[in-house]
Amino acid sequence: MTSYATSSARAEMNELRRLKGLLPPELQSWVMVEGTAEVNPPLIRSEEIGNDEVEIQIDLAKWDQLAIDQRNLLFWHEVARIQNDTIPKDGWEMAALAIGLGGAVGELWVQDGLLLILALALCGVSGWRLFQKNNSERNLKEAIEADEKAIALATRFGYTLPNAYKSLGSALKVLIEQSLKKRQRVKYEARLQALKKSAAKAKAKVKTSSTTETSFQTENIYN
């Protein structure tokens, strides 16, 4: 008899293969999809693992608690972030800032003006990059843009527009309910509000089509 651990591992591998198939063809050769073994990791995230490779990492234990359509839209959100080139880059900024500060202190001691200017310039560039990375408004804007693109990817893979909005909206509601950190919860709530506005605009554009309008009325993300 197949053990529970073996059955669970097989189900996880099947899910990773399924998600790999949801990648647009142009990404399949350089975007990897893997389960994460970290303690208390985020549900899903992406990071560079080389000069020309990106890995989408998923907490499969939490992932399994979501409906298939919710998983798909959250996955396409991450794919959209990769396409938009908004995933975190290699964390060189902190090292550069430390080098710059150390260099500035050293050059003050030896009084070399040119090297002091170069060290301060390195501090400025790395500091600005760190500010951009941690800018909450910028990060929210990028997340909302990725949600919009995720909807487009869903329709590319056969979803109707109403179902795409409904699936992503319900996924965000689950994330809001599960978020223990207020800051993260507020971000999900802002994304959901932006998604509702986008759905309303999409509905307005298709009012001439009675079939689509009826679908929006019965399958929406407002309730």
Strands 53-58 and 44-50: antiparallel
Among 106, 142, 141, 102, CA closest to 122: 102
Average pLDDT over residues 11-40: 93
Q: Residues 109-140: pLDDT tens digits? A: 455 555 556 655 655 554 545 455 455 788 89
Angstrom CA distances, 116 to 103, 107, 125, stand at 7, 5, 14
Determine the Cα–Cα distance for residues 86 and 67; give it in Å rounded to an integer. Answer: 26
Q: Residues 159-187: pLDDT tens digits? A: 999 999 999 999 999 999 999 889 999 99
